[in-house]
Structure formats: structure tokens, C-alpha cells
Amino acid sequence: MHQAKHRVVGNLPYNISTQIILKLINYLKGIEDMHFLVQKEVANRICASNQSGDWGRLGVKIAALFETTILFDVPPESFDIKPKVQSSFIRLIPRVNPMIDLNQFSEFSNLVDIAFANKRKGIKNNLKKLELNYGRLNINPLARAEELSIEDFITVFQHMDA
């Protein structure tokens, strides 16, 4: 029987929006898409790439499973009670071919956290316990985590046990 897919829409409280989105990843298979109004800074982090200054843990984790887009910005004047922040309306669509399996998300998430643990250090220092062959992976061992693309992170993840 075909499972119904849900469309998740919400105006997320700014202080817990990232936790809500990360929690919803567990229900990926039942989600058609998600649309959220979030603080503009959070939107930028979720929808970032390694080409932008907002690329970090959150963007990498979400990019493995979702295509993300900022649809439009919403100024404070749009609300009856003006918030002190700019907002953005974002869309997250589960990837047709996720870059990792959902059951690997926790492990992938841990890798990303370790990679970003010390922002000043290169990826080889942060991931030294993994003993990766960076030449074979075609990744600069001196690059910082925020310089790696989502594809680079997936490559590292797939070679963790190799």
C-alpha cells in the first residue's frame, strides 16, 4: 500500500527551529516537502553551500537528505507584533536519491560535528582518528570543514571504514 506523504508547514519559534527540523528528519520517508518561516540567519545556514559564509554543521546535515531553497524574505513589518529579526520562508524537499541512508544519519551527523569541532584546524586534524587517505579521496587535508562541499563530506563518510 502506498504511504501518504505529508506536507509540513510552520512558522517555527526562532530559538528551537533547528531542533524541530533535525527532529523531522526521522520522518523523512513520510514527507513530501516542508515549508517553514524561520529567522533569516537560520534560513541562510540551512540553505547554504560551501560557496557561502553560512555553510556549517546544520547545512551539511540537511543537504545530505534535502534540496533546500530560500523562497522569499519576510520583513518585520509583515507582522502585527514586529519581531527584532528578519525572517525567510524556506522549502526543504527530500532528495529523490538521498546522499546517505536515513539509518546512517546519526553517524553522519557525528562525523559533521567532529569535522567542525575546531574551526581553525584543517579537516585532517579534526578527523585524525579516522586515518583517511586524502589523496585517494581527492580532498585537501589542510582544508577547513567549511571549505568542503556536501559531496566531499559524503566521500569522507563512505570511506570512514575503508
Q: Quick: pLDDT tens for 115-156.
A: 999 888 899 999 988 888 888 899 999 999 999 999 999 999
Q: Quick: pLDDT tens for 38-67.
A: 999 999 999 998 887 889 999 999 999 999
Q: Quick: pLDDT tens for 91-116.
A: 999 999 999 999 999 999 999 999 99
- pLDDT score recorded for residue 49: 84
In angstroms, what CA-CA distances link 14 with 21, 37, 43, 129?
A: 12, 9, 11, 35
